[in-house]
Amino acid sequence: MRKRWHRARTGLRRSAVDYFRGDGSDWAAFAGLFLTVPAIAAGTILGPQWCDPAALVLPVIAGGLVLRPATLLLLYASATAALVVESLVLGSGPVSAAPAGVTPGTVLTVAAAGLFGLLIAQFRSRVGVPWRRGGTMLFDLRERIRVQSRLPHLPSGWHHEMALRPAGGQSFSGDFVVAARTHGGRTLEVVLTDVSGKGMDAGSRALLLSGAFGGLLGSLPPHAFLPAANGYLLRQDWDEGFATSIHLVLDLESGDYELFSAGHLPAVQLHAGTGQWEEKAAEGPLLGVYDGCQFDPVKGSLAAGDVLMLYTDGLVEAAGRDLSEGIDRLTGEADRYVPGGFEGAAWHLIEAVAKDVNDDRALLLLCRTGG
């Protein structure tokens, strides 16, 4: 009895997991929906003033969401039979316009719902993602991008801010950040990347690249990261396979840093001693365009009170405006935070300079608060 109970419990649990993942049978759902069809037909015949014949669209639509195409056709056959029975019992032919009967409009409504349901079922079957897991999967992908974009904890004397805003208020963005502390935690490496496209169109490629770049970061010497990333994009052979990227390698003890760029916009550094912003532009081609590229770094150092900003083009580019004007506007807004510090400034800077821009926007602030 114990063995039988264990096998039954294991089988039930396995079936439940398979059903949740979309791998299990849909006969249970079909049985439930199939029983609602005669129930609705009986309600229409016995109380037509309370149950309209068009109520058959309810199981038809539900079937399109939960059933496979082959099983869905069986449900549609039962719904068709129910319409025929209702039409005969209520004494109205297919061209009758009696309020209590099955009118041509009712037939067209149920048929249209069935057509859309079948299209949805075929799409789910082709993609292989059931409706009960599709939303969960997208939510999980979005959270993974956010987790990968989190910056590691920095020692005292350093502060960082990161803000990311996708185009059109969507949940997926073509901009992403990967970061890691290497060399025993002494070095901070940050890569900010802008994938071609925007929003949902670039979100899938950004997710793939963020995982690949996260694996490369810290596994290779800093000067070898962008060449390896470039080779990875070339192997993908995408139609829109290019990306811009900027790679920061910062010594957290001395404040010295190197910036490697692959066609990305220059970083800007605030020198606390003079209050002036300086552009830090490294040289390098776009990722995924040419093979065997060389990426030459630009060097700098962050003293106490200095700020370094990395950003994507959606923050400074606009139609009819020069790129330098957009950078000047960004640094001008950032000057307002110099007296009180940059706590929470990244998101507010995006709101101030590029709130309604239909492009992905990302901003990284790195401040040295102590010597």
Summarised one tens digit per residue, pLDDT across range 265-303 is 999 999 998 999 999 999 899 998 888 888 999 999 999
Lookup result for tokens 């040295």: 368
Q: Which letter, b or e, does each residue of 228-250 get, where b requires 16 or more Cβ atoms within 10 Å of its Cβ? A: bbbebbbeeeeeebbbbbbbbbb
Asked if 68 and 120 count as a contact pair (C-beta separation under 8 A), the reply is no
What pLDDT is attached to residue 134?
57
Q: Quote the percentage of the chain above a pLDDT of 90.
A: 32
For the stretch 289-292, contacts whose Cβ atoms lie closer than 8 Å and that sit 24 or more positions apart, written own/partner, are: 289/242, 290/230, 291/230, 291/231, 291/234
3-state secondary structure 115-182: HHHHHHHHHHHHHCCCHHHHHHHHHHHHHHHHHHCCCCCCCCCEEEEEEEECHHHCCCCCEEEEEEEE
What pLDDT is attached to residue 95?
40
For range 149-157, the mean pLDDT: 87
Taking only the tens place, the pLDDT of each residue in 84-99 is 888 888 764 444 444 5
> Per this entry, what is the length of the chain?
371
| Residue 168 tokens, joined | 């059109």
Residue 101 scores a pLDDT above 60: yes
Residue 25 scores a pLDDT above 80: no
CA pair distance 190, 185, nearest whole angstrom:
13
Question: How many Cα neighbours within 13 Å face the side chain of 335?
Answer: 11
Task: Categorize the per-residue pLDDT at 358 as very low, low, confident or very high, splitting at 50, 70 and 90.
Answer: confident
Residue 357 scores a pLDDT above 80: no
Give strand ranges (E) for the chain: 158-165, 175-182, 187-195, 243-251, 256-262, 267-271, 276-280, 298-301, 307-311, 361-368
222: CB partners within 8 A, 6+ apart: 189, 247, 249, 258, 260, 297
Asked if 223 and 189 count as a contact pair (C-beta separation under 8 A), the reply is no
Annotation: CATH topology of 136-366: Phosphatase 2c; domain 1 (3.60.40)
Nearest Cα residue to 132 out of 27, 32, 16, 31: 16
Residue 26 scores a pLDDT above 90: no
Task: Tell me which of 311 and 173 has the higher pLDDT.
Answer: 311
371: CB partners within 8 A, 6+ apart: 157, 303, 304
Residues of the chain with CATH 3.60.40.10: 136-366
Q: Quote the percentage of the chain above a pLDDT of 70.
A: 84
Residue 174 scores a pLDDT above 70: yes
User: How does the average pLDDT of the chain come out, rounded?
Assistant: 83
Residue 130 scores a pLDDT above 60: no
